[in-house]
Chain A
Amino acid sequence: MLLRGLAGAAALTVAIVLVLIAYKVVDQAGDAISAFGLGFITSTEWNAVTNQFGALDLIWGTAVTSLFALILAVPIAIAIGLFLSELAPRRLRAPVGALVELLAAIPSVVLGLWGILVMGPFLESHIEPWLNIHLGFIPLFGGTPSNVGLLPACLVLTIMVVPIVASISRELFDSVPGDLKAGSLALGSTRWEMVRSVAIPQVSGGLVAAVILGLARALGEAIAVSQTIGGALGRPTSIFGSADTLASRIANQYQGAATSLQTSSLAYLATILLVFSLVANISAQLIVRRIRRRMGTR
């Protein structure tokens, strides 16, 4: 009986903590919420001197970096999942799979360190000038090469998102019944045609959930992004330019916040971030639940 009580209490605690997190964050944002209301979301101000703050540029930065990271990471990750599930020789599957997961185990601060001190300068001296010269007519590649900015931040996020989506994809592809695969191949399909027409449609729901989880990871990353993105305000048109995200701004400015309104505004940013991440996570969970239910009834 004691055990049951303790165990139940533990479970209850977790639920309470979740609610408490939401409450406390919103609570600390209180001053900013009353000062700016919903206009905070559409304002591009961020000025500690005039005490005017707004989230728009940060939301933009979060959206852009996350989307960019997803666009790069998802195809790569699904390809890795396919490799591990279908293509790799049996003996290679475990080791390569382990290596990909090790990529996820690298602490974000270490990745950020590598990002600023190794990848950033490399991009600045070798990649960005090349892009500038050859594709500079596209505004995306227009600006001045720099060792911090959207590009290094996006690449670091990509490195973080790939292992998450890849390991889920691999599990999904492993779960496709062998009968189905055999049926397709016996009709004369190539392996890729089997994957494209049978395996991927079979697991498409799960892939969506995996992508959403990858998105949630990218949205919430504060440390590595703050180390590599430059932290400037504004919405640059070039990926060489510097910007900021919700999480990164909180990480950068919380300690040195000049006014309590600034602190409160940072908490407001955290509230917005929490809402985004909750929406993403809960959607992913609901999709997974729906898939499990459908599998159970078949």
Chain B
Amino acid sequence: MSTEVNPLTIVTPRARRRKLVGTIMELVATSAAVLAVIVLLIVVVSVARKGLPALNADFFTKNPVPFGQTGGGIKNAIVGTLIMTGMATLIAVPVGVLIAIFNTEFAAPAVAEFVRLVLNVLAGVPTIVIGIFIFGLLVVGNGQSAIAASIGLSIVMVPLIARATEEVLVLVPASLREAGMGLGATRARTVVTVILPTAVGGIVTATIVAVARAAGETAPLLFTSSIFANAVVTDVHQAMASIPLTIFVDSESPSVADQQTAWAAALVLMAGVLIMGIIGRALSLRTRRQIERAR
């Protein structure tokens, strides 16, 4: 080994500057990621800390009390959100899955491209505009109703379910299709009895993700189900309370009790959404692995 200084360690000023710039940029990138995680934590912790104190059995089992009184809960909002999101899911899942099937099984490539374009554009329409749309279509002349709200929510859900389902259907190996049709089944039968069952995991995941999204949507509800009583409503032709709207209204209220309710409701909503998100992700990984193994 030579005893002189190793020339590979000597860097010219220019090279030193380049190395420094590189290190700085790597630091910047890392800080950005850290910043995002910190912001997430701040928001989640805020909601948890402020919402937790108000979470008790009453919160889930009692309806709101008239202004001025203490106590009560958001039972009507919870029921309302469950019903409206549930109905929206009942509409959106068949429609979304059918569209995905159309794109992967029946449509010519150009047509499928077009349908995908339409789905993406629809997904990008601001939800407040969707609210006005449903308002003009269903609420004007008929009054607010949970059905109208559900239809509005389903419009938000359909593109999500259709896109994600298509991604899963595409993964199903062609050999499965050929096997089904080779045994003499029609295309439709093959789809229903062979392909869908294989893809069901992915469809469930897509649904969970879409439900998590719909449960938190406020704008469509503003126009379709914003005037409601402090009691549980199960008539779908009436407006129902909902968690997002409760948060929205109470967040702007000067009353501390209302704000407390808003925090607690936000905690419930966020917990639900985050849990669904985590389950969805875990399921998605599992389904992908299952299908890969089947290939």
Contact = CB atoms under 8 A, between A and B. Distances in A.
Are chains A and B touching directly in their complex (CB below 8 angstroms)? yes
Contact of B126 (A9, A76, A222): A222
Interface string A197-236: 0000000000000000100100111110001000000000
**Interface majority SS (helix, strand, loop, mixed), chain B:** helix
Nearest to A155: B39
A107 B121 contact: no
Contact of A251 (B25, B128, B130, B215): B128
Interface string A249-278: 011001100000000001100100110011
B30 interface: yes
A195 to B, nearest CB: 8
Contact of A110 (B226, B227, B259, B270): B270
Contacts of B158: 14
Interface in A1-27: 1-4, 6-11, 13-15, 17-18, 20-21, 24-25, 27
A230 to B, nearest CB: 11
Interface in B2-42: 18-19, 21-22, 25-26, 28-33, 35-37, 39-40
Contacts of B46: 114, 118
B29 A79 contact: yes
A103 interface: yes
A256 to B, nearest CB: 11
A219 to B, nearest CB: 7
B56 to A, nearest CB: 20
A84 to B, nearest CB: 7
Interface stretch (B67-75, B96-104, B228-236, B287-295): B96-104
A69 B157 CA distance: 26
Per DSSP, chain A at the interface is helix
A3 B215 CA distance: 30
Interface residues of A, number: 87
Q: How large is the interface on B (under 10, 10 to 19, 20 to 34, 35 or more residues)?
A: 35 or more
B201 interface: no
A58 to B, nearest CB: 13
B98 A10 contact: yes
Pick the most buried of B39, B132, B219, B223: most chain A CB atoms within 10 A of its CB.
B132
A10 B166 CA distance: 14
A111 B43 contact: yes
A45 to B, nearest CB: 21
Contacts of A166: 36
B180 interface: no
A100 interface: yes
Nearest to B106: A4
B83 interface: no
Contacts of A227: 248, 251-252
B87 interface: no
Interface stretch (A31-39, A135-143, A174-182, A279-287): A279-287
A114 B47 contact: yes
Output the residue of A13, A102, A223, A250 with the most chain B CB within 10 A: A223
Interface string B118-147: 111110111111101101110000000000
Q: Which of A10, A20, A86 has the most CB of B within 10 A?
A: A10
Contacts of A274: 125-126, 129
Contact of A25 (B50, B136, B218, B226): B136
Contact of B30 (A14, A77, A87): A87
A127 interface: no
A113 B124 contact: no
B121 A11 contact: no
Contacts of A281: 120-121, 124-125
A274 B125 CA distance: 7
B166 to A, nearest CB: 11
Nearest to A28: B136
B270 A162 contact: no
A71 interface: no
Contacts of B99: 7, 10-11, 14
B22 A191 contact: yes
Interface string A83-122: 1101110000000101111110111111111101110000
A15 B39 contact: no
A86 B122 CA distance: 33
B105 A7 contact: yes
A192 interface: yes
Contact of B36 (A99, A109, A213, A254): A99
Contacts of B19: 190
B122 A80 contact: no
**Nearest 9 A-B pairs (CB), nearest first?**
A107-B216, A220-B126, A281-B124, A190-B22, A7-B102, A79-B32, A10-B98, A3-B188, A222-B128
7 contacts: A100-B36, A113-B247, A118-B46, A192-B26, A193-B18, A222-B127, A285-B121
Interface of A: 1-4, 6-11, 13-15, 17-18, 20-21, 24-25, 27-28, 75-77, 79-80, 82-84, 86-88, 96, 98-103, 105-114, 116-118, 159, 162-163, 166, 190-193, 195, 213, 216, 219-223, 227, 247, 250-251, 254-255, 266-267, 270, 273-274, 277-278, 280-282, 284-285, 289
Given A220-B126, A222-B126, 10 more contacts: A10-B96, A10-B102, A83-B33, A96-B37, A103-B39, A107-B216, A109-B244, A113-B262, A166-B36, A255-B222
